[in-house]
Each structure stands twice: as C-alpha cells, then as structure tokens.
C-alpha cells in the first residue's frame, strides 16, 4: 500500500467503529464531530505533508524491515541522523498546526517496544521481538496511526499496582489461554486515541515480580470489543459550537484530543502480545519510551512557541508598540527560550547511541533535561506573550457580541488598536494567543511525558554523580590517583 494522503487517512477512520463518548453523547463518526474535527485535521496533516516534495526528507524514510518508503512516524530510528530528523520534523509540523498532531506517543512506543523485546528475547529465549516486527510491518504497510498507551489511572499513588484496593487502576491480565490474554483496566490522557487506528499498550511503571500481571505490552485495534473511549474536555472547547473567531486556532484546536480509554475484558491474541509477565523488563520499556518522548518536546513545543512568538509580535504591531525597546527585548527573550528548548532536543538526539536491536536511543540524561526545561520555559514564553498582548485577551466579549447590531459598533470602535489594522485582525490574533497560552496547553507542557519530578528522578539517576564527586576529590588532593 502507498503512503496515505490526508483524505485517505480520514476515509480510513470512517471504516472503523470505535465506541467513543464526548460531552454526554455517543459519537458515531469521529470525522464528523465538531469536537473532534480539529484533532483529526492535525493528524491528517502528518499524512498530507508526506506527499509534499519540500518535506519528503523529514516526513518519509525507508523501512529497514521491507526496504519500502514509509511515513517517518512508523519508523525505527537507524541512526542519530534519524533522531535529529525526527525533532526537525516535529518542529516543522507544530509550526503549521500550532497544536499537537498526536502521532508522537505511538512513534515513541514502537521504538521502545522494538528494542526492549529484542533484549528480552536475547535473555529469555522468547519470541516477542519477531511478533512485534511482524506487527510493525503491518503498521508500515497500511500507514496506520498508532496511539501509545502508557499512562494508567494509578489509583492510590502511594501503593504499587498489586496493592491497590481496585486492581483495575492499572491495566492487567485477568486471563490467559491458548489463544491469548484478556485485559482489564484503563489508560488515561490518551492523546489522539479516538482518531487512531491502533493502540499500543505498555506498562506505566517499573514492576516487581509481585506485579507480573501488570507487565503487559500488546497491540489492540481502537475499535476492539470491550474498548470504550471517553473524550476529555479542553479549554474553551464549547466555543466550537458558538462561532469561528473565538476558537483562536480554528483548524487545529488546542492540544491533542485526549481521552480516557477503558479496557473491559478485552481479548488480545498471542501474536499481538509483546510482553506478558516479564516484570523485570517493564522498567526498561518505560524508561526508553520516556526518553524518546521527552526528546520530542523541544521540537514540538519549539514549533508551537514559534507560533506564539509570531502571534505576540503581531499583537505588538496591532497595539502600536512594536518599536518599543522593552517589547523588542521580550520578543528576543521568547526566541532565546524557544531555541534553548530546541537545542536540547537536537543535542540529546545527536548524542544518541545504538541499542542491541540496531535501533537508536537518545541520550537519556539530555532528553530528561529537555522536558524539565519545557515545564518551566513554556510558562515564561506564555507570560511574556501575555505581557505584550495586553489584558484584553482575557476579557474579550463573545464573537456573538461582535455580530450583534446593538453592540457591534461599540466593540469595533473600542477594541481598535493601531489604525493600520482592522479590529477583527486584532481580535483574531488575541484569540489565538489566548487559545495557545491557556490552561490545557500549559498543563500538557507540565505533565505530558511525565511530571517534572519524574524527570528529576531520571536526571539524578543518569547524572553520574559518583564520577563528578571523583573529579572534585582528585582536584582537591583527597584522591591521589
């Protein structure tokens, strides 16, 4: 099969029949829902860009399994150049969507599972890697979108999976038979799940032997029997029902269309199971996925920050203050912070290394530093944007008031900035700034790919403090060798 176009991707979703609920109603066709349309549009662009000659080098590559041309989102990294191109691709797409395009989690999942299953088989004599390789060929051949499913609901965070009063707070195996396994539980914050073709289940934490029923990695169609998706709310989402301008990012929405995905006694055949009880390898899979996913953020959030910076500079023009030195300095700082994020992602990619499977992994320490920076610098970028744009981004009347003949003239008059521009231009840009720097986007920057504390744990673990101590002891004359 050839690479899908954006239209072919949307048509392929119409052939699926997932059980999706949103805003108290069952959604029969995810491509027709006003609430889901922006997320479908953003994912569709990842298919469409693969057909544009100027983006071919970033968006496509050659499968090391089949030798065929594939979308990069289905690829196993074969070099540090692949890792770098991934970051450049994510920034480019984010610049065009100003939003999440949802394919990164599955991309990172297939790379983590690929290398972990190889090492699992080498040590245990299992055949998980061959199963996964066969599955990956299927994904590449059909150009499918895979939702990475790692985050469990976790229940009491102070207890391990097997200690939970409700065992379903972590996805676990409830039955094994000659044909496969049966799963129960739920996965939370599932980016792009409702408009994906497949979901790749992975453990969410390192596990001990007592938690082996939770050591499960497998692939499930999003419309499999027993799978239920409940779509989450986002900042200002009801505006999609009210007008156009108030939406801000009209075509692509806010973040990634996250859902809670329930697995209610879902059967998975053995050929789609890539880990089942090997608890000692859960930590490896989790950490490798986390490193790949944290690598992304300087790319995708760098691209989003490019748009925020551009919108802020435009707001300065509309407000008539673009030439003020303090405004120029704030715009400069926004650029500096954005490139700091991007530079970290490039660095952890360039310093990546080959795993036993042949796939490449990023530098774990630098990848975690990237994500830790995102949890802070994005907030500063947004603060500066608010500073320059002005307080009216938080108090603008509804688009309906701009269209009401009793109030339109007043709003047209009093929300005008520089006479070089129309009131509507200023309002449209203000709504974009509000949309991109509001609650849901910031929460995702903070907690996506793990909370800030998760990165700090990894930074300390990967920081080689013993080596640093030895350097100091030698210079101080304490250690003579």
Binding-site residue set for FAD: 191
The catalytic position among 297, 318, 342, 360 is 297
Decide if 342 is catalytic: no
Decide if 104 is catalytic: yes
The catalytic position among 218, 276, 291, 300 is 300
Nearest to 152 by CA among 222, 198, 205, 228: 205
- Pairing outcome for strands 360-361 and 259-269: unpaired
The catalytic position among 293, 399, 437, 440 is 293
Count of C-beta atoms within a 10 Å radius of residue 3:
17
Decide if 380 is catalytic: no
Question: Which residues line the annotated binding site?
Answer: 191
Task: Please list, in sequence order, all residues whose beta carbon lies within 8 angstroms of the beta carbon of residue 375, skipping any fewer than 6 positions away.
Answer: 445, 446, 452, 455
Task: Please list, in sequence order, all residues whose beta carbon lies within 8 angstroms of the beta carbon of residue 172, skipping any fewer than 6 positions away.
Answer: 161, 183, 184, 185, 213, 214, 216
The catalytic position among 31, 104, 144, 278 is 104
Decide if 128 is catalytic: no
The catalytic position among 97, 191, 261, 375 is 191
Decide if 218 is catalytic: no
Decide if 225 is catalytic: no
The catalytic position among 31, 60, 75, 100 is 100
The catalytic position among 258, 317, 399, 434 is 258
Q: Contact, 181 vs 216, CB < 8 A?
A: yes
- Whole-angstrom Cα Rg for the chain: 24
Q: Max alpha carbon distance in the chain (Å)? A: 85
Decide if 11 is catalytic: no
Decide if 133 is catalytic: no
The catalytic position among 198, 399, 434, 444 is 444
Active site residues: 100, 104, 191, 258, 293, 297, 300, 444
């Amino acid at each position: 099969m050839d690479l899908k176009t954006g239209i072919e991707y949307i048509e392929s979703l119409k052939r699926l029949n997932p059980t999706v609920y949103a805003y108290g109603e069952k959604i029969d066709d995810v491509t027709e829902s006003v609430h889901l349309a922006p997320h479908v549009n953003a994912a569709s662009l990842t298919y469409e860009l693969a057909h544009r000659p100027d983006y071919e080098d970033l968006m496509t590559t050659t499968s090391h399994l089949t030798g065929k041309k594939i979308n990069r989102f289905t690829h196993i990294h074969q070099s540090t150049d692949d890792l770098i191109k991934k970051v450049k691709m994510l920034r480019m797409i984010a610049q065009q969507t100003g939003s999440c395009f949802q394919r990164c989690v599955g991309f990172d999942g297939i790379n983590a599972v690929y290398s972990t299953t190889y090492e699992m088989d080498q040590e245990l004599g299992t055949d998980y890697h061959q199963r996964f390789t066969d599955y990956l060929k299927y994904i590449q051949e059909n150009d499918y979108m895979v939702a990475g499913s790692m985050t469990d609901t976790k229940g009491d965070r102070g207890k391990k999976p097997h200690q939970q009063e409700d065992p379903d707070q972590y996805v676990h195996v409830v039955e094994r038979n000659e044909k496969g396994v049966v799963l129960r539980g739920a996965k939370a914050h599932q980016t792009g799940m409702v408009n994906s073709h497949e979901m790749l289940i992975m453990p969410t934490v390192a596990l001990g032997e007592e938690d082996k029923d939770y050591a499960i990695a497998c692939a499930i169609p999003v419309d499999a029997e027993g799978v239920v998706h409940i779509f989450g709310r986002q900042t200002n989402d009801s505006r999609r029902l009210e007008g156009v301008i108030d939406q801000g990012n009209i075509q692509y929405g806010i973040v990634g269309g996250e859902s809670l995905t329930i697995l209610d006694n879902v059967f998975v055949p053995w050929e789609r199971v890539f880990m089942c009880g090997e608890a000692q390898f859960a930590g490896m899979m989790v950490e490798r996925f986390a490193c790949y996913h944290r690598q992304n953020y300087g790319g995708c959030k760098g691209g989003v920050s490019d748009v925020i910076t551009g919108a802020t500079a435009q707001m300065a023009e509309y407000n008539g203050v673009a030439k003020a030195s303090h405004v120029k300095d704030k715009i400069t700082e926004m650029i500096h912070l954005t490139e700091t994020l991007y530079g970290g992602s490039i660095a952890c990619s360039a310093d990546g290394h080959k795993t036993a499977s042949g796939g490449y992994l990023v530098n774990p320490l630098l990848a975690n530093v990237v994500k830790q920076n995102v949890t802070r610098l994005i907030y500063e970028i947004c603060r500066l944007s608010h500073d320059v744009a002005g307080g009216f981004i938080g108090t603008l009347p509804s688009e309906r008031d701009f269209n009401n003949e009793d109030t339109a003239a007043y709003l047209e008059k009093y929300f005008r900035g520089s006479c070089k521009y129309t009131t509507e231009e200023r309002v449209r840009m203000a709504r974009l700034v509000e949309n991109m720097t509001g609650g849901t986007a910031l929460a995702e920057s903070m907690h996506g790919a793990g909370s800030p504390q998760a990165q700090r744990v990894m930074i300390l673990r990967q920081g080689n403090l013993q080596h640093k101590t030895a350097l100091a002891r030698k210079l101080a004359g304490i250690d003579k060798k």
